[in-house]
Amino acid sequence: ETGVTQTPRHLVMGMTNKKSLKCEQHLGHNAMYWYKQSAKKPLELMFVYNFKEQTENNSVPSRFSPECPNSSHLFLHLHTLQPEDSALYLCASSQEMGREGQPQHFGDGTRLSIL
Amino acid sequence: QKEVEQNSGPLSVPEGAIASLNCTYSDRGSQSFFWYRQYSGKSPELIMSIYSNGDKEDGRFTAQLNKASQYVSLLIRDSQPSDSATYLCAVNTGGGYNKLIFGAGTRLAVHP
């Protein structure tokens, strides 16, 4: 059982489509994260939100647009993606960004394939 | 650039043996260290955290930290086929923020 839920689990889209990934955490955390995981590469941090405010954008292309309406929900809006964007997108949460040492808990991810 | 290095493996060990997974990191200011287990097609699952030099044991798992050598390891005793997974080392970047840098992971294969 995971306290972080991601939908959809799988997504196939064309390069001109617009879609959104959703993440919801039930752990009472205040920080939420988006990561990209490509084959044989380390997890890449994309965005961080702390108490609904974006605190980190790790030089992510503008075709990825995050949204955090509250501390429990996080979205990643996708548009005009490229084939190299195909990857596993993971959402994570922790108590808060400003407290070092808090473990991050991950959702099951969305496997994204760009045609 | 802050980095976390792991041997990609695969590390193959027989059932019942001790599996030793290693990780080095570049940021001397790091204070928090985590090991995650990731089964194929699944999300990373936190299995150990360690904050002080020395050993920390939890069941069959022991995490070892040496900040002077910038080295953290994970020992798995009595390895089981169900331990076969990729193990990710994650290091907090320091500076008071909860930002993790991940290694690429070591794939462990435990064979009967």
Is residue A76's pLDDT more than 60? yes
B70-112 pLDDT tens trace:
999 999 999 999 999 999 999 988 666 778 999 999 999 999 9
pLDDT of residue A96: 78
pLDDT of residue B35: 97
Q: Token digits for B62? A: 């022991």
B31–A106 CB contact, under 8 Å: no
B21-32 pLDDT tens trace:
999 999 988 889
* B77 against B9, higher pLDDT: B77
Q: How far are the Cα atoms of A35, A58, A67, B92 from residue A64, in angstroms, in the given order?
A: 12, 11, 10, 25
Residue numbers in A near B98 (CB within 8 A): 31, 94-102, 104
- What burial class does residue A72 get, using C-beta atoms within 10 Å of its C-beta: 0-12 exposed, 13-18 middle, 19+ buried? middle
B65 shares contact with chain A (CB less than 8 Å): no
Is residue A1's pLDDT more than 60? no
Identity of the residue in B41, B97, B100 whose CB atom sits nearest the CB atom of A104:
B100
pLDDT of residue B102: 94
